[in-house]
Amino acid sequence: MKLFSRFFFNLLVVMLLFSCKKQKTEAPVKEPYVQFINVQIAGQNLEIKGSIDKNRDKFSGSWTGIGYGDGTQKEMYTVNVIVPKTFLNTTFDSKLQFRIFDIEKKEYKLSDNEPFKQSFASGIYIVTNLGMADSKVYTTNETKPPFKVQITRYEKPKDSGVPFVGGKISGTLYNVKNLQDSIVIKDGIFDVRF
């Protein structure tokens, strides 16, 4: 009986040792963040996407925190997009920029005549042939329907204060010197961090 008890005890110990093996688990592979913009400008589709360190010269975003003397802060986010010269029949690539002051998830209706001249204001514009004699600025106009920017994503990750910003854009921008000259931007969707 002692022999049986001893054998049974040893068998139990061996079974416990083998059953306590830890399962090897592989850490899930984290996909790199891909920022993008898909938009129709002047009837042509523009798509730019890439990781945070790819295509930043063509598409990027930047966050700004503006602090006030009373301890409060407002946030502004700016998106920059390079529009190829073939889209607007220009000598050089054009620059599309939109920025949202006091940003949050909601729809913004932009209609100021000269938002690009203000430091802390929401606005959108395209500038063509920058620095050339034939350079033009297109922006919103308060006598025309507003340009819509809808922010659908504004998330700050736990490990950073720089947010992910996503949304939609659509509307018409007008030449500041000739309201008959305009550029239609529609079906724009974007998601950007840097």
Q: Which amino acid, one-letter code, is at 128?
A: T
pLDDT value, residue 189: 98
Of 81, 88, 94, 85, give the one whose Cα is nearest residue 35: 81
d(CA 12, CA 189): 63
CB 146 within 8 A of CB 174: no
| pLDDT at residue 14 tops 60 | no
The pLDDT of residue 52: 74
Express each pLDDT in 144-188 by its tens digit.
999 999 999 999 988 888 899 999 999 999 999 999 999 999 999
pLDDT > 70: percent of the chain = 86
- The predicted pLDDT at position 10 comes to 57
- pLDDT tens digit sequence for 114-131: 776 777 899 999 999 988
Which tokens sit at 39? 């938009």
Residue 9 pLDDT exceeds 80: no
**Is it the case that residue 22 has pLDDT exceeding 80?**
no
Computed over every residue of the chain, the mean pLDDT equals 88
pLDDT of residue 34: 92
Q: CA triplet 4, 8, 10: central angle to 5 degrees?
A: 120
